[in-house]
Amino acid sequence: MKITRKDFLRLSGLSFLAGGAMEAARAIAGRSSAATESQSTPVAQSVRWGMVVDLRRCQKEKGCTACTDACDAAHNVPRLADPQHQVNWIWTQPYETVFPFIQNGYAEQSDAGIPVPLLCNHCASPPCVHVCPTQATWKRADGIVMMDWHRCIGCRYCMAACPYGSRSFNWVDPRPAIAHINPDFPTRSKGVVEKCNFCEERLANGLKPSCVDACPQKALVFGNLADPNSEPRQLLRQRFAVQREPELGTGPSVYYLV
């Protein structure tokens, strides 16, 4: 068969039209499927662990380190002399550095310097997971962002990617810096990254995270964000809550009542 130039043009015009129509059809279909998906998301995901931190309660206990202490003891987190090598799972940082967007120029007197507990946000769309070249960090179906310390190659790409500074690298061997080793939890070697695991080992046994149980003010409220009747969801309905840098689209599972 011989195709003349005219035929060719006609054919390509047709295929172009067909392609355009398919694109349009796909776009329409895509929109409707996206709509159904957004309605069905809470059903599809029945568990999404999350936490609400009540800063008003936390503030009442001046100089308190109960959550950090409980977590460090449970997870064999080392206490290193050099602050630059420090490993942090849950720790505190001054209010104004955590929530720079709440600074209006006049409110500092009341809030400045208040320690805000920080931990991994177990993001819904975690940048750390997206960048890890070995899948040593991954997101579970229940929303917990996990770490495999035996697979991690220590490239620290996840540390560059996490917008919250939630990840720590073992710059040195952590074991000598652990006061009492908890035999029920693994210690880590030098050269791997670690972070908060939402106490998945306790959740598996039906317990709440160590920090939640340790807090004398019950300022840390843990529960299933996918369940509208869970404790955190009730709090989020009643009070004004913020996430850290929500504009980045990471979808943090940790909320702060300010």
Q: What are the residues binding ligand SF4 (CB under 6 A)?
A: 120-123, 126-128, 131-132, 134, 136-137, 145, 152-158, 162, 164, 166-167, 193, 195, 250
Site string for other proteins, 84-123 (x = CB under 8 A): xxx-x----x---xx-x-----------------x-----
> Which residue among 13, 19, 42, 165 contacts other proteins (CB under 8 A)?
165
C-beta of residue 51 within 8 angstroms of C-beta of residue 222: yes
Q: Distance from first CA to last CA of the chain, Å, rounded? A: 75
Return the structure tokens found at 64.
Answer: 């308190």
In whole angstroms, how close is the CB of 148 to other proteins at the nearest point? 10
Structure letter (DSSP) for residue 209: P
Using CB distances below 5 to 8 A depending on partner kind, what does residue 93 bind out of other proteins, ligand SF4, none? other proteins
Kind and range of the H or E element at 71?
helix 66-75
238 near other proteins (CB under 8 A)? no
> Which residue among 107, 153, 181, 207 contacts other proteins (CB under 8 A)?
153
Identify which of residues 140 and 239 has a Cβ nearer to other proteins in the complex.
140
d(C-alpha 112, C-alpha 104), whole Å: 12
In whole angstroms, how close is the CB of 128 to other proteins at the nearest point? 10
Q: Measuring CA to CA, which residue among 113, 67, 117 is closest to residue 94?
A: 113
Amino acid at 239: R
Using CB distances below 5 to 8 A depending on partner kind, what does residue 57 bind out of other proteins, ligand SF4, none? none
175 near other proteins (CB under 8 A)? no
In whole angstroms, how close is the CB of 115 to other proteins at the nearest point? 12
C-beta of residue 108 within 8 angstroms of C-beta of residue 215: no
How many residues belong to the site for other proteins (CB under 8 A)?
Answer: 48
d(C-alpha 26, C-alpha 30), whole Å: 6
d(C-alpha 247, C-alpha 165), whole Å: 16
In whole angstroms, how close is the CB of 9 to ligand SF4 at the nearest point? 51
- Quick one: CA dihedral 39, 43, 47, 51, positive or negative? positive
Query: Which residue blocks in the chain are alpha helix, DSSP H?
Result: 5-44, 55-60, 66-75, 95-98, 108-111, 127-131, 157-161, 200-203, 210-214, 231-238
137 near other proteins (CB under 8 A)? no
Task: State the residues that interact with other proteins by CB under 8 A.
Answer: 82-86, 88, 93, 97-98, 100, 118, 127, 130-136, 151-157, 159-165, 168-173, 189-193, 245, 248-250
